[in-house]
Structure 1
């Protein structure tokens, strides 16, 4: 992209009072942004209000700084850093069919990946979303489902948030082939920032085998209003949405609702009727979301072959089950008493009759073997593979 063209797009993006809807009307009538800014106020008022036309006739105060920042950012690594406009051939076709496609997208990742996973063929991508405060089982589910889905050739789309999002990205990176677009992270900040900071290394990995996407200018901080808004891009880039765990007020339900509005499938993993993190999924299932118990359920819905590598993983899972059978009889009794819902020491003592030192020793051993997770509040939860 030439300097003048980039400057014009940024000016349109930064013009106060002119959002993406008004911007698309202007582009449809006048063509490229340079042509928009060459129009008189009366000509502009055919598409927008007089106040918006007046704003378009003035140069935003922050344009020079934003242009210089963006141009330098692009120049530092042109193979990894990109700006995609509505007219760019690499702009995701899937977003063009949504109600509110961004005028401009910032992207970070290998240029070859810009040609993959954009929805030209169905199905090629799936959103995997959920709670920022998941259970240990929820994290494991997100990772395992995403790994299997990526092995089947799907691109996993999520939001780089703590909890389920991060686990989904990690699972996809583990399961994808080296040349595959493993995962897309749609973020709510400028791409020169990583939020949360705990995902700095994960974001770096995604840039190598996936894409980081944002509609927000460089330097944009993590503003709370931006995260629900970016969910329309997560659902828009995906052929379906899987909600792993979600409370009733979770932002993941926004993504699911947007997917339904876009005419796409929603899948949900059920959980305990007593678990707060499962209530959002249960609500979605009541509303018509498809209950899934394994990634294979989704692949069958998409009519995708499971494949040899995934079958090998099933064999490995069987080996894990065999390994779990090697635990002692006392440990097995404790696992049966724990079941799959969080429980405290008092409850476990009442169920098993074990004294406190023996119970704590058994729980520690099972935790080290990966059969039990320790939760906040001195609670323990059995993991599904045990």
Structure 2
């Protein structure tokens, strides 16, 4: 029950990772700290009066056994730094979270790599994130991201499209679907990979928690790829955190006219490694890459016509293809399905389909 008591202490307003460590050091363990008398807690000098009142109030209405049962029924697990399930690279950072909460599992020995970027992304950026993540995943790399809209979502979707596990690190409890639009995606990730947070279940999303979340994204990964980022994007925080922990940082170039690429261009100016293809990234990670991509030789003439009308950077709507090709929508839909299964195109949300970036972006 030690982990449960640590988690319960973290639910008290004002008690974070620093004060939790102080309490465990002072009282010997979290269970003793949780059950200590008012006078003993006061004498420790760790908590102020408001935090102490919060702890006493929480203790009156919370039962460790009930909490443990509730989390188990919800498929939520908790691990500390001493547990083998705790990501090994994360232990090495300056401020590792004392506890992690999981839905799903991270495979032992997984090579984790972060793919991040702006919420306000372009079709080009989402295509790159999806394509790169899919290719890395097919080579055994576990994609880590923050489950935000935009680039993060495309990175997770690319990994799942490869039939691989992916890790979503949240800035709220793992039982909370945030953003709400990604509820189905998060359920899919939990079933096929892992959803992680340092915040106890039930913790609502708050702005200050997301920069802290970024240190986990960077800390558990061997490197970070920033796909698209404006000048003040939170993805740049992740890149800075990665550099501070001696992780490699990579960036994808974009249009000089796009404000969504100003942050990535600045990273490249400051020394981030420019990558123009997934193959370059795989080689940087130590993989032997042939550079091959899905061949169009086996495609039918109609399939080639459909593919030629599609863009790498902008999604093409079904209606547009029907108009340009003078073909039935049902026939084009079947062709698009085959092209998607063969890795030539990917579905860009509800907007349409984009060609998968191959040799370069």
Question: TM over 0.5, yes or no?
Answer: yes
**Distance change in 2, residues 1:301/1:320 (3 Å):** farther
**1:236-251 map, 5 Å:** 236-251=219-234
Normalised to the residue count of structure 2, the TM-score between the two structures is 0.77
1:214 maps onto 2:197 in alignment: yes
Q: Which of 145, 160, 167 lines up with 2:147 in the alignment?
A: 160
1-structure distance, mates of 2:230, 2:326: 29
Q: CA deviation at 1:238?
A: 0.6
1:62 maps onto 2:58 in alignment: yes
RMSD: 3.9
Normalised to the residue count of structure 1, the TM-score between the two structures is 0.73
Q: Compare 282-291 and 317-326 and name the one that shifted more.
A: 317-326
2-structure distance, mates of 1:161, 1:126: 17
Partner of 2:114: 127
Residue by residue, what CA displacement relative to the aligned partner does 1:281-317 show, whole Å, maximum 9, x if unpaired? 10110111100011111221121233xxxx6x93415
1-structure distance, mates of 2:73, 2:103: 12
SS in 2 for 1:241: strand
2-structure distance, mates of 1:147, 1:383: 10
Partner of 1:287: 270
2-structure distance, mates of 1:216, 1:76: 18
Q: CA deviation at 1:326?
A: 5.1
Q: CA deviation at 1:235?
A: 0.6
Q: Which of 86, 91, 94 lines up with 1:96 in the alignment?
A: 91
Q: CA deviation at 1:128?
A: 0.4
Unaligned runs of 5+ in 2: 349-353
Q: Which of 163, 166, 178 lines up with 1:183 in the alignment?
A: 166
Larger radius of gyration: 1
2-structure distance, mates of 1:69, 1:218: 13
2-structure distance, mates of 1:59, 1:109: 30
Unaligned runs of 5+ in 1: 118-123, 343-357, 376-380
**Distance change in 2, residues 1:70/1:302 (3 Å):** same
1-structure distance, mates of 2:4, 2:304: 65
For these two proteins, the number of residue pairs brought into alignment is 334
